[in-house]
A = this chain, B = another copy of it.
Amino acid sequence: MTIKEIAKETGYGISTVSRVLNNTGSVSAKARKEITAVIEKYHFTPNVNAKHLKMQVNFGIAVIVKGIENMLFLELTEAIQQKVRANGYECLTYYIDEDGDEIAEARKIQVERRPYGFIFLGADANIYHRRLEIKDLNVPCILITDNSVTFGIGNLSSIGIDDSLAAANVVDYLYRHGHTKIGIIGGNPDKSNPSRMRLEGCELAFIKHDIDFDIEKQYSASRFSLEGGYKAAENLLDKFPDVTAIFAMSDIMAIGAMRAIYNSGRKIPADISIMGFDGIELARYVHPRLTTVRQNVERMAERGTEIMLECIKNPTEEIHEVVSFSMIEGSSVADIS
């Protein structure tokens, strides 16, 4: 079934059928109705290859996920895919390693597929230094779970929570429960924007509460994965043995850390308290239940995709939004005050 056959059956020309299909240009109500009827009768779907060939665009929207081991991204990816497809775009997801080069990947995809836009999950701090490369992608891009508000690249939007504030809240929470010997595990602050912002938030809170913090001793960087959390916690317990509470910058790291804590013979939360970050479903199931910061995933996925669609329509736009977070109390933090 092609547009030509639809045209023949309705008695209109292919141009008019195309206009109806794309809801563009002016078509009489009568023509629209008749043509729509035939389209529906045959469940006709236009050939995307012909369409894209003509429009010089290869594909829908590309989603580049950096660090698939971080389950937060899984929840996000799922929601984004659904929303993108519901809006009539194809959605291609590319998984790259947490230490991979998402911009190089995007450039490759750009050459091969020419998507309408790129959605990045989990991007680097070095985005700023590579803003020309992003500009060169020449289509709307959005960073989800990050904040590029200061970048001013022109085609890079962003959406995420206020990482600094959320992390400060974590420290406040631990402080209220009597903890002052706090260790932190997270990503490399020089490479991961969210890690840097969260670390800054913690430092502000430490100052506020007059808590000592020696980054060398009390911060351990690793990957956002189970194994990463495990190793970072092992390392932290080693160099900061009197720690009473650990803040993990992702739930998946927290769960990895819990294993390390158990393996060291300590109890949670009796010996060591732990807090996570993200609020993934799993956090409510592990033992003990994880106290964590929930990022508003649904909202990030929904608005992130909407922003992408808006920017595709109006390529000169650049939108930055901040979504909410909330604290979820589990039973992984002991009150030692």
Chain B contacts of A81 at CB under 8 A?
95
A226 touches B45 (CB 8 A): no
Quick check: A53 and B45 within 8 Å, CB to CB?
no
Chain B min CB distance to A149 (Å): 31
B53 touches A58 (CB 8 A): no
| A29 interface contact, C-beta 8 A | no
Chain B CB within 8 A of A48 CB: yes
Contact between A262 and B281, CB atoms less than 8 A apart: no
Q: How extensive is the interface on chain A, given as a class?
A: 20 to 34
Taken together as a complex, chains A and B put the C-alpha atoms of A282 and B229 apart, in Å, by 12
Instruction: Give the interface SS of chain A, mostly helix, strand, loop or mixed.
Output: helix
Minimal beta-carbon separation of A255 from chain B (angstroms): 6
Question: CA of A111 to CA of B255 in the docked complex: distance in angstroms?
Answer: 43
* Per-position 1/0 for A269-284, Cβ under 8 A of B: 0000000000001101
Q: Contact check, A68 vs B58: say whether CB atoms are below 8 A apart.
A: no
In the bound complex, do residue A256 and residue B285 qualify as a contact, i.e. CB atoms below 8 Å apart? yes
With a cutoff of 8 Å between Cβ atoms, the chain B residues found around residue A49 in the complex are 49-50, 52-53, 58
Among A45, A48, A258, A281: residue with most chain B CB under 10 A: A48
**Cα(A68)–Cα(B76), bound, Å:** 12
Indicate if A230 sits at the interface (CB-CB under 8 A).
yes
Q: Compute how far the CA of A114 lies from the CA of B285 in the bound complex, rounded to whole angstroms.
A: 41
A112 adjacent to chain B (CB < 8 Å) = yes
| CB-contact partner of A48 in B112, B258, B282, B286, under 8 A | B112
- Chain B residue with the shortest CB-CB distance to A256: B285
Asked if B48 and A230 sit within 8 Å, CB to CB, the answer is no
Can you name 10 extra interface pairs (CB under 8 A) apart from A255-B285, A258-B287? A45-B112, A49-B50, A49-B53, A50-B53, A68-B74, A68-B78, A226-B281, A227-B281, A230-B285, A262-B287
Closest 9 CB pairs of A and B: A49-B53, A49-B52, A259-B285, A49-B49, A287-B287, A50-B53, A226-B285, A45-B112, A53-B53
Q: Give me 5 A-to-B residue pairs in the complex whose CB atoms sit less than 8 angstroms apart, sorted by A's number.
A: A48-B113, A49-B49, A49-B50, A258-B285, A287-B287
